[in-house]
Amino acid sequence: MGGKARTVFQNLALAAFPLLALNAAAQAGDQAWLQYRPSTMPPNIPTRVVRLGDSQVEKSAAAELVRGLQGLYGKGEEDAKADRHSIVLGTFAEFHKRYAGWKAFGGEPEMYPEVIWEANAPLDRRHQPMKNNFGRAEDAFAIAHDTGLGTQTIFVEAPTDRGVLYGTFALLRMLASGEKPPQKGFRDHPALPIRWVDDWDNPDGSIERGYAGRSIFFEGGNVRTDLAPVGEYARLLASVGINGCNLNNVNAAPHLLDSDHLKQLARVADAMRPWGVRLAMSVAIASPQTIGGLSTFDPLDPDVKAWWAAKVAEIYTLIPDFAGFTVKADSEGQPGPASYGRTPADAANLLAAALEKHGGVVLYRAFVYNHHADWNDPKADRARAAYDIFHPIEGAFAPNVIVQTKEGPIDFQAREPASPLFAGLQHTSQAMEVQITQEYTGQQRHLVYLAPMWKQVLDFDMRADVKPSPVKEILAGRTFHRPLGGMVGVSGIGRDSWLGSPLALANLYAFGRLAWNPDISPEEIAAGWVRQTISTDPQVVSTVVKMLIQSWPAYENYTGPLGMQTLTDITGSHYGPNIESSENNGWGQWHRADHQGVGMDRTVATGTGYAGQYAPEVAKMYESLATTPDNLLLFFHHVPYTYKLHTGKTVIQYIYDSHYEGAAQAAQFVKDWSTLKGRVDDRLYADVLARLEYQAGHAIVWRDAIVQYFLRLSGIADDQGRAGHYPGRLEAEDARLTGYRVIDITPWEDASGGKAVSCDKEACSAEWIYSGPAGRFDLAVQYFDLQGGTAQFTLKVNGQQIATWFADATLPSKRPDGDNSTRRIARGIELKPGDTLRIEGIPDNADPAALDYIEITGAARSPGFAEY
Ligand code: GCV
């Protein structure tokens, strides 16, 4: 806070800011959805818990159930002796042992076809778990009301203790959502065997693309002493069925493989094991050379093979249930097999061979591309890379290799088509990688519920072999009969209330639920999350679900519609608007906007040929302008701004309209949330409100940047007359300035009119004379909240202080631009013609109290302001 005393806001209507982490207490699952708030007990719910087994996982299940029952209904206890009127948890084998003549589901024969349960058969004829222990059957469960023991006895039964845990959480989920478990019982199993989170944590405690503080795993080069949050994280993961956690950055620090660090990692595995979450780690393929002292890391070299075999054996002595490795190679500067002319399959199989006998798997990332592509080459296309590299070696991967492919062909943009590789690997198990951490989708400062985006890709029919083949079926191994497969979510969990923002946690929850069952609708997932996390009050549920569901379309609208991708700062923060940063460089996130038109031609006929990587029916759809959906038009085609969409609207008008619509949607979120005052926890209310107000302001920054950029580039006016016209806006560069000097903002579109003012004196001011009509108005102050200092701003009308605040938010970028352009609104201010409006700025260290404009909204939307 720059050591300054804080001045109390004089205008209480000003939004509370910055975005504070509310939870000073120890980090726990209760701060997410495992809250078990007091609730009315449905009839016939027993509160005694009987645990039939003694494994750590079953102990966790029983303890969680007791905790849940106590929280929900004020009573719950473990009672080993009880039978009737209790909830009995156990594996099939344990049920058999305890109850003579016991039959799973009361002997009901019907089973899921994929799940080979022979629970009612003699023990020696029962299904043996897969060697790698990743399977759907292993994680299945059933919840039965046992009539033999009395109607108030509930059995949670499963082939393994992990299944018991998942069944327990499913039961609790129902109870905490205010639902009664169906009297006839129910059973469930995961669709996808691999349900992992990837944490991109670095040994120094930082997190790549993390927006929630520092690592829960590491600090100062080592695993942290306090691993309590790791246990709580595993609890959260288990509650939605996640069974693996890859704890370190895929840009892997090789020294994590040294003996000392492996011992430390064993502590992390110990912390997660009680929750059935297996530890995995990212490894650098060059490790045999960088830390092993070998002269090579050639995957076909016998010494390299021996090195990995020994290293893996060492890992398994410390972590017997180690899940496996994740590999990023030949990508963004990471070394890989290409250095030796070897393929990804050579590298993956090298590790797979070492892991196989221990039951481990390799998740080899298909995110392999050249980030020095030639922008001047119309055929160059980063989107092609994964398919071009992996499809030709299809079938060459060992059975315990899973190729991990990002959902789209570029990199977690606001919208992308499903990666064509999903249909391009028919003999290899596949996992889809998605981002829970909102790198390109607002970095948790913007509300963006990602389940609808993921669901759309999961449901997308790849039409492989001219047959129905939705991505979710491919991942489940059903389409191509693969034993493994799944979903991996890049999590970004940190020490700041898990994901920093309370509503962002819906994404972690939704990821787990979709990985378990990709058929659940995003709405249903959202509703369950709200009921468990915020309230079961129907008004709260419907309001928050509506906001969540509208949030991705809103974000897409004001950042990158029509498949242009997120038009953000590609070479830097990946946060605020910076349209040209994607162009003219080797990173390949191009949209090729020029004076005439916009979009990447990825057709086979005239473009990069990317569309041809899809199966014929899909390729045909994307090849043609007529059949490409509007929301991906500019991903596949370069068209003039005057090109008409299927709706009849021109591309340029859609760009204008969608940005205004998106910003209006973001403003509506504030209003929607405001209706919940008094219906949700007060602190949560204030925290979320501040975040949504910030988002609404930043959506305007996005809107104006993109709209004014395309207005200038295309020279085509907005038929609604909004683009480039900002009545009520008083530019700082037009004010009477004392101390402030006018600066150019880079990129120009990030400031209104491309200019702002910056203070390099002790204090500066900007003054305008108001000449609009008299009345009450909202005054929005648009300023730049830079890192490296805490500038102070004061708003005065006729010398009277209206508000004063510190620019102390943590936003990217050290110079004034769209990353840190921030809006603060003073509401209901009385103005009359001739009033003096004044902003005083006091810089602090590297923050020069830069100012873009003030905007007067309300009745004064007509022009007529006198400016100095
Ligand atoms: C871990 C994007 C991100 C990088 C990330 C990379 C990847 O490029 O910006 O931070 O690196 O994807 O997925 O490997």
pLDDT in tens, 420-462: 999 999 999 999 999 999 999 999 999 999 999 999 999 999 9
From the candidates 30, 94, 411, 734, which is the catalytic residue? 411
Cα(441) to centroid of ligand 1, in Å? 14
Say whether pLDDT at 733 is over 90.
yes
Q: Based on the residue annotation, tell me whether 270 is a catalytic residue of this protein.
A: no
Residue type, 87: I
Residue with the bigger pLDDT between 20 and 32: it is: 32
Per cent of the chain over pLDDT 70 is 92
For helices 538-559 and 682-714, the axis angle rounded to 10 degrees is: 20
840 bridge partner residues: 765, 794
Q: Which atom of ligand 1 is nearest to the CA of 490?
A: 13
Number of neighbouring beta carbons within 10 Å of residue 118: 14
Which residue's CA is minimally distant from atom 8 of ligand 1?
Answer: 411
CA dist 842 and 833 (Å) reads 28
Structure tokens at 655: 């760009």
Number of neighbouring beta carbons within 10 Å of residue 867: 14
Residue 225 exposed, middle or buried by CB count within 10 Å (0-12, 13-18, 19+)? exposed
Give the contacts of 678 (CB within 8 A, at least 6 positions apart). none
Number of neighbouring beta carbons within 10 Å of residue 457: 21
Query: What region does 684 belong to: left with phi over 0, alpha with psi -120 to 50, or beta?
Result: alpha
Of 435-439, 670-674, 725-729, 758-762, give the lowest mean pLDDT range.
725-729
Yes or no: say if 567 and 713 are a contact pair by the CB < 8 Å rule: no
At 112, the pLDDT band (50, 70, 90 cuts) reads very low
Cα(328) to centroid of ligand 1, in Å? 10
Cα(643) to centroid of ligand 1, in Å? 34
At 80, the pLDDT band (50, 70, 90 cuts) reads confident
Cα(252) to centroid of ligand 1, in Å? 12
Q: Based on the residue annotation, tell me whether 439 is a catalytic residue of this protein.
A: yes
Whole-prediction pTM value?
0.94
Kindly report the backbone phi and psi dihedral angles of residue 253, in degrees, each rounded to the nearest multiple of 5, phi listed first: -80, 115
Which residue's CA is minimally distant from atom 11 of ligand 1?
Answer: 251
Which residue's CA is minimally distant from atom 2 of ligand 1?
Answer: 411
Q: Which atom of ligand 1 is nearest to the CA of 406?
A: 13
Kindly report the backbone phi and psi dihedral angles of residue 677, in degrees, each rounded to the nearest multiple of 5, phi listed first: -55, 130
Say whether pLDDT at 139 is over 50.
yes
Average pLDDT rounded to a whole number, residues 644-663: 98
Which residue's CA is minimally distant from atom 13 of ligand 1?
Answer: 367
Q: What is the pLDDT of residue 114?
A: 41
Cα(596) to centroid of ligand 1, in Å? 32
Of 19-23, 58-62, 207-211, give the lowest mean pLDDT range.
19-23
Q: What is the pLDDT of residues 564-581, one digit of tens each?
A: 998 999 999 999 999 999
Q: What is the pLDDT of residue 148?
A: 57
Q: What is the pLDDT of residue 409?
A: 98
For helices 651-674 and 682-714, the axis angle rounded to 10 degrees is: 170
From the candidates 188, 439, 556, 844, which is the catalytic residue? 439
Q: What is the pLDDT of residue 633?
A: 98
How far the first Cα of the chain sits from its last, in Å, is 33
DSSP symbol at 780: E
Per-residue b or e along 335-363, where b marks 16 or more CB atoms closer than 10 Å to that residue's CB: bbbebbebbbbbbbbbbbbbbbebbbbbb
Residue type, 193: P
Yes or no: say if 817 and 859 are a contact pair by the CB < 8 Å rule: no
CA dist 61 and 277 (Å) reads 13
Average pLDDT rounded to a whole number, residues 790-802: 97
DSSP symbol at 743: E
Cα(133) to centroid of ligand 1, in Å? 29
Helix (H, G, I), strand (E, B) or coil at 200: strand
Structure tokens at 152: 């108030």
Cis peptide before 18, with omega less than 30 degrees from 0? yes
Task: Pick from 369, 411, 419, 585 the residue to mutate for probing ligand 1's pocket: most ligand atoms within 8 Å of its CB.
Answer: 411
CA dist 417 and 55 (Å) reads 44
Cα(453) to centroid of ligand 1, in Å? 19
From the candidates 226, 332, 524, 830, which is the catalytic residue? 332
Query: What region does 183 belong to: left with phi over 0, alpha with psi -120 to 50, or beta?
Result: alpha
Helix (H) or strand (E) holding 716: none
766 bridge partner residues: 737, 839
Q: What is the pLDDT of residues 474-518, one digit of tens each?
A: 999 989 999 899 999 999 999 999 999 999 999 999 999 999 999
Cα(647) to centroid of ligand 1, in Å? 36
Residue with the bigger pLDDT between 182 and 750: it is: 750
Structure tokens at 531: 């009921």
Number of neighbouring beta carbons within 10 Å of residue 760: 12
Cα(412) to centroid of ligand 1, in Å? 9
Task: Pick from 207, 208, 382, 405 the residue to mutate for probing ligand 1's pocket: most ligand atoms within 8 Å of its CB.
Answer: 208
For helices 505-516 and 522-533, the axis angle rounded to 10 degrees is: 130
Residues flanking ligand 1, CB < 6 Å: 200, 208-209, 249-251, 328, 332, 367, 411, 439
Helix (H, G, I), strand (E, B) or coil at 823: strand
Per cent of the chain over pLDDT 90 is 84
- CA triple 245-251-257, angle to 5 deg: 70
Q: Which atom of ligand 1 is nearest to the CA of 331?
A: 14
Task: Pick from 248, 332, 410, 490 the residue to mutate for probing ligand 1's pocket: most ligand atoms within 8 Å of its CB.
Answer: 332
Of 377, 380, 298, nearest in space to 335 by CA? 298
CA dist 683 and 693 (Å) reads 15
Kindly report the backbone phi and psi dihedral angles of residue 355, in degrees, each rounded to the nearest multiple of 5, phi listed first: -85, -25
Residue linked to tokens 């790198």 = 439
Cα(691) to centroid of ligand 1, in Å? 26
Task: Pick from 209, 371, 416, 582 the residue to mutate for probing ligand 1's pocket: most ligand atoms within 8 Å of its CB.
Answer: 209
At 96, the pLDDT band (50, 70, 90 cuts) reads confident
Average pLDDT rounded to a whole number, residues 541-559: 98
CA distances from 146 to 48, 87, 292, 451 (A): 15, 10, 58, 36
CA dist 201 and 251 (Å) reads 9
Q: Based on the residue annotation, tell me whether 157 is a catalytic residue of this protein.
A: no
Structure tokens at 630: 């509007």
